[in-house]
């Protein structure tokens, strides 16, 4: 490996250098007997600051790097990883992967993606916007955020703090089919969490903002005030009696409801036959007004990518069209297991979007009339095999389209097949902070277990 004499310094690890290292790994793996090889290299650095009660709690500067390799010897697979990139460490890592492959069982579905599916066009998706933020500036913003929260209302009596985080990273992916590409990406965030008290009862809530570009973050004061406003609204929460009623999932928790659908059509669950949506292509799973699609090439999107974790080219596609399932979420491996083709979803979906309706949050509440607005979900009570859904929840009881009082210590339950079919409306109050982009979702009826 002539190009790597000593471990390179992180400052020297630009994309060209990383691509050179990746190419050398492929050569070394071939030399050690691999038929096919894939390698991924990532480096990153960032700053994290936490402040609480007006004082700095932690300041962390972090730099990390890692390299992994997967080799195939016939239909046997072996993988290994390292945090070092000097020649000796890479040779040792490749040797470990090849050794694992020799002892592995044959798997007829293993191997690299089909060469024809690999990305060849690499659109600039504007994912990298480094934030030249000093520790002093980060401290100032974190304290400003928390101060805004603590001074919002006298009922805010304590704080879990405010945090600022900024991260910039570079990733390169290469394989023995000729693919070798890298890109830069950034992620910046700010969050705040406070505690309120009323009549010896306490409540906690939070708010956060996240973006590729620091200029797109909400102002520090706004984040703090939102955290306090949400906390104050929860004071005086009570349980309600067991009943059936409409349930509206607020935009910030609706993504979880859609995430369960994606899990059910994910290749791994399908080929293991552990999904309640087996053989669902062509089936009406949602009402006809529901459309769900991927938008992988949105500029600055949190889930944007020109290719997936295997290098397979991404493209916009419909997953739900007029309520009907159009396709699954597949990697190359799961696609082969199912006798299908990769959907470029190795590593997950890309800016999954639920088409917004016409109603804003208040109009959605009026559409519901009387029912439960859920703003927090607790626990993991979802069975992907059966679709049974049961989770702890908190939120607000709504009557005649108006919030009446906060609610806690309840459980909402149903079966996801019924829940999806019972969706009445999707709001236009879309939460853009994550990889699943959806507004609030109104379900016609669910069981609420209370006091």
Q: What does the pLDDT read at residue 379?
A: 87
Give pTM, 2 decimals: 0.93
Tally of structural domains, the chain: 3
CA distance 355 to 174: 35
Average pLDDT, the chain: 95
CA distance 399 to 82: 57
Same domain, 106 and 163: no
Place of tokens 């669902």: 280
For residue 3, what pLDDT band results from cuts at 50, 70 and 90? very low
Tell me, yes or no, whether 4 lies in a domain: no
Alpha helices in 235-360 (DSSP H): 251-264, 267-271, 332-338
Same domain, 207 and 302: no
The CATH number linked to 87 is 3.30.2290.10
Mean pLDDT, residues 301-312 taken together: 97
Same domain, 404 and 331: yes
> In this model, does residue 46 exceed pLDDT 90?
yes
Q: Tens digit of pLDDT for each residue in 76-135?
A: 999 999 999 999 999 999 999 999 999 999 999 999 999 999 999 999 999 999 999 999
> In this model, does residue 8 exceed pLDDT 90?
no
Q: What does the pLDDT read at residue 13?
A: 58
CA distance 318 to 322: 10
**Of 50, 49, 43, 46, nearest to 62 (Cα)?**
46
How large a percentage of the chain has pLDDT more than 90? 95
Length in residues, the chain: 451
Name the residue range of residue 211's domain. 135-172+182-234
DSSP code at position 212:
S
Helix (H, G, I), strand (E, B) or coil at 250: coil
């Amino acid at each position: 490996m002539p190009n790597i004499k000593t471990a390179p310094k992180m400052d020297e690890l630009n994309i060209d250098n990383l691509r050179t290292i990746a190419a050398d790994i492929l050569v070394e793996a071939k030399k050690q007997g691999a038929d096919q090889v894939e390698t991924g290299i990532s480096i990153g650095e960032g700053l994290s600051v936490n402040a609480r009660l007006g004082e700095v709690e932690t300041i962390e500067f972090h730099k990390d790097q890692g390299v992994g390799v997967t080799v195939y010897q016939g239909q046997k697979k072996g993988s290994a990883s390292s945090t070092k990139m000097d020649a000796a460490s890479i040779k040792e890592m490749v040797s470990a992967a090849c050794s694992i492959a020799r002892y592995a069982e044959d798997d007829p579905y293993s191997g690299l993606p089909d060469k024809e599916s690999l990305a060849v066009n690499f659109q600039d998706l504007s994912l990298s916007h480094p934030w030249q933020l000093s520790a002093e500036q980060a401290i100032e913003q974190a304290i400003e955020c928390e101060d805004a929260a603590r001074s919002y209302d006298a009922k805010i009596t304590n704080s879990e703090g405010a945090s600022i985080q900024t991260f910039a990273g570079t990733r390169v992916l290469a394989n023995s089919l000729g693919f070798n590409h890298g890109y830069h990406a950034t992620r910046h965030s700010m969050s705040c969490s406070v505690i309120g008290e009323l009549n010896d009862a306490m409540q906690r809530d939070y708010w956060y903002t996240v973006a590729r570009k620091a200029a797109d973050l909400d102002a520090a004061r706004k984040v703090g005030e939102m955290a306090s406003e949400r906390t104050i609204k929860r004071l005086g929460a009570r349980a309600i009696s067991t009943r059936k009623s409409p349930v509206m999932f607020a935009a910030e928790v609706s993504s979880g409801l859609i995430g369960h659908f994606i899990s059910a059509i994910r290749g791994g669950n399908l080929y293991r036959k552990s999904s309640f949506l087996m053989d669902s292509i062509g089936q009406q799973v949602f009402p006809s007004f529901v459309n769900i699609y991927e938008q992988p090439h949105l500029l600055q999107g949190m889930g944007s990518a020109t290719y997936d974790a295997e290098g397979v080219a991404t493209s916009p596609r419909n997953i739900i069209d007029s309520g009907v399932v159009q396709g699954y979420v597949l990697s190359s491996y799961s696609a082969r297991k199912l006798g299908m083709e990769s959907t470029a979803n190795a590593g997950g979906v890309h800016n999954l979007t639920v088409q917004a309706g016409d109603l804003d949050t208040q109009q959605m509440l009026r559409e519901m009339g009387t029912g439960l607005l859920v703003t927090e979900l607790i626990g993991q009570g979802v069975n992907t095999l059966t679709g049974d859904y049961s989770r702890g929840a908190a939120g607000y009881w709504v009557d005649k389209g108006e919030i009446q009082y906060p609610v806690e210590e309840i459980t909402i339950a149903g079966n996801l097949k019924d829940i999806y079919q019972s969706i009445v409306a999707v709001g236009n109050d879309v939460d853009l902070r994550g990889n699943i982009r959806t507004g609030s979702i109104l379900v016609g009826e669910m069981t609420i277990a209370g006091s």
